Structures are given as structure tokens and as C-alpha cells.
Amino acid sequence: MDNEQSKPPRRIRYKGTHPKTFKEKYKELQPEKYAADIEKVMQKGNTPAGMHRSICVNEILEFLNIQPGQTGLDATLGYGGHSLEILKRLAPGGRLFATDVDPFELPRTRKRLEALGYGGDVLFIRKMNFSGIEQIVYESGSLNFVLADLGVSSMQIDDPERGFSLKVEGPLDLRLNPKSGKSAAMLLKTITQDRLEKLLVENSDEPYAARIAAVIISKNKCGTHIETTAQLKEIIKDVLQFIPENERIEIIKKTSQRCFQALRIEVNDEFGVLEKFLEKLPAALAPGGRVAILSFHSGEDRRVKKSFQQFFREGIYSEIAPDPIRPSLEEISSNPRARSAKLRWAIKKS
């Protein structure tokens, strides 16, 4: 009996020579144990399941110019890739505060960073939305630097249970914190046609917003509610059957991406959260403090740009990025998810 209890659990079995589903990719989900296999996946330009590859790391570190003993904030901890590189530069005496709302990934990241030697004496992780940056400052004091990576983490995209992926079926959730607020499926059950059309346009510039909204609301009235990612994608596919066949596949793909993005932005109030964060930033920074923000959506980048320009005109920021910094061609080649990234920065007046 004791021998049976001491046996390690068997790995998940799968058909064929390579695992296909998220849960079957046991090597990718254990990067510390299968480092060589992880490296092979990344060399192919892919992101291993359950991992996230931080973007513009060198560009961010070069701008932030982190010095030992400083105090800073990683407003979007995620997998902790940016935080790890920052922590390496803070010793001795530095402190890094980090926030995230994901109740599943946050403890995993905490555990990874603690295993690398970054515990509670230097790293202060708080489960909260970064729009509450003033709560961090109350604890930390003025910040020498702030980083915010506004992209959705690969761990969230790849796990079908989170409902972010177009590639596999899962519940249509799209919440960064699935324990709070309404899922995208619940939103679509209760939203009006006008409101749905408006958010598809405002959040993702969707050209077929009116057609898609009309069909979704029509199905609601018939009692056919959208519960899964596959169901939403199928509706979009049906709506776009009028598109010429030689263009249809690509347009369906891009329309689906825009619709998922628009719903994700809505259920997480991403624009509202970002606007509150940007408004509070100047008061959070120490004189000469630096902020770098990495965005992946034109709506995000537009808000960051306008905020930086406003506070620059008011003399609060002494310098701002004249143009966004884009990932290098080499980075995009090795990590295609970096393609849409834009990095903007600002420096508070000394």
C-alpha cells in the first residue's frame, strides 16, 4: 500500500507523436524540469504552453535605467519575466512592488520568483488592479520607475478554460480575474443590440459590428445563448458568408479576433482602468521618475500617448517618447506575439 502511494502520478497520455491540447503538453507546462524541450519550442518561434515571453525587455531596461536601492512598480506582473530582469538590477537595497488581478497565475509567479531567491524582503506582490496605484504608493513611497505591460499573458491565451483562445473551444469568459465581474457569455445574454454594436466599434473598430450584433441579439430572443468560444466564432462565420470565398477565411479570422478583443476589453473595463492609472501616475512618481508602458491595441496606445502629451504640456513630464518604440525584427521573428507591441515612455520633471 505504501509503495502505491509513493509512486509519482503518471503523465497525461495522448494520441500521436506530439501532444495537441493544452493539458497534454506536460513538458511545456513544467519548464524547470524540461528546459531543453522548452528551448526547442522557442527556437521555432512559438511560446511554450503555460509560459509567457516578455517583450521589449532590453528596450525597457535601457530606458528605465534601474539603479541599486531604487523602488519601483511592475503594474502587470503576469509571468514575471520583466520583474525578474528588474530584480536583478535592484540589489542591494532595492524594492520592487508588483500587482496583478489573476488569482491563478499570481501565486505561480510568486512561487517561481521566490525559488530564484526573490522573496518578501525585495519583492512585494499585491493582488489588485493597477488603477489603484495610490494604494501601492501609500505603502512604498514615491516610485523611481513604473512599468506596465498591457498585453494579455500567453498563459491566459493558451489555456482553453480561460476562454481567450479562438483556436480551441472553451467557455466564453475573457475575464482576467474569473472570480470577479461578469463573463463575456453573461454580457452577451443581457446586452442590447445598440450597446453591443457600439462596443464592437469603439473597442475594436469592427466594420461588421451591426450585422454581428443583430444576429447575436436575434439568437438571444430565440433562447439560443452563446456560451462558448466556438459558438461565437461560428456565428461570426455565418454572418460573413456574403464575403467572396477567396477573401472569406482571412476576414473571418480577423473579425473573430476583433470581436473577442472588444468583449475582453469590455468585461475587464480595460480602457477605464488604464485611464485611471494614467491620471494617477504623475503623483506616484518621484521627481525624475520614469514610466514605460507597453501596449498592443490602438485604443490603449492612443490613451497613453494623449496622457503623456497632456502632462508634458503641463510641465509635469520633462520628456516623453517622440514616437513609439517597436520590437526589433529579430524579436518579432522569434516571438510573433510581439508584432503589435508599442512602447512609450515618460520622465517626470525633477
pLDDT of 94 above 60: yes
What are the tens digits of pLDDT across the range 16-25?
555 544 444 4
The identity of residue 340, as a single letter, is: S
The torsion defined by the Cα of 273, 338, 73 and 114, in degrees rounded to 10, comes to 120
Mean pLDDT, all residues of the chain: 87
Under 8 Å between Cβ of 7 and 29: no
CA distance linking residue 23 with residue 11, whole number of Å: 10
How do residues 45-77 score in pLDDT, each as one tens digit? 455 445 558 899 999 999 999 999 999 999 999
Q: What is the predicted pLDDT for the residue at 164? A: 67
Mean pLDDT of 155-161: 65
Whole-angstrom distance, CA of residue 119 vs CA of residue 127: 16
Q: For the chain, list the domains and their CATH numbers.
A: 57-154+292-335 (3.40.50.150), 177-267 (no CATH)
Q: Are strands 123-127 and 95-100 parallel, antiparallel or unpaired?
A: parallel
Burial class (CB in 10 A: 0-12, 13-18, 19+), 119: exposed
Q: Is the pLDDT of residue 33 over 60?
A: no
Q: How many whole angstroms separate alpha carbon 308 and alpha carbon 53?
A: 27
Q: Tens digit of pLDDT for each residue in 301-315?
A: 999 999 999 999 999
**Taking 50 as the threshold, does the pLDDT of residue 206 lie above it?**
yes
- Total-model pTM: 0.83
Q: What is the mean pLDDT of residues 127-155?
A: 92
Q: What is the pLDDT of residues 233-244, one digit of tens each?
A: 999 999 999 999
Q: Write the pLDDT tens digit of every residue in 104-135.
A: 889 999 999 999 999 999 999 999 999 999 99
CB under 8 Å to 3, separation ≥6 — which residues? none
**Helical pair 193-204 and 245-267, crossing angle rounded to 10 deg:** 100
Lowest mean pLDDT among 12-16, 120-124, 166-170: 12-16
pLDDT band for 27, please (50, 70, 90 cuts).
very low
* 154 contact partners, CB below 8 Å, separation of at least 6: 47, 51, 52, 53, 79, 337
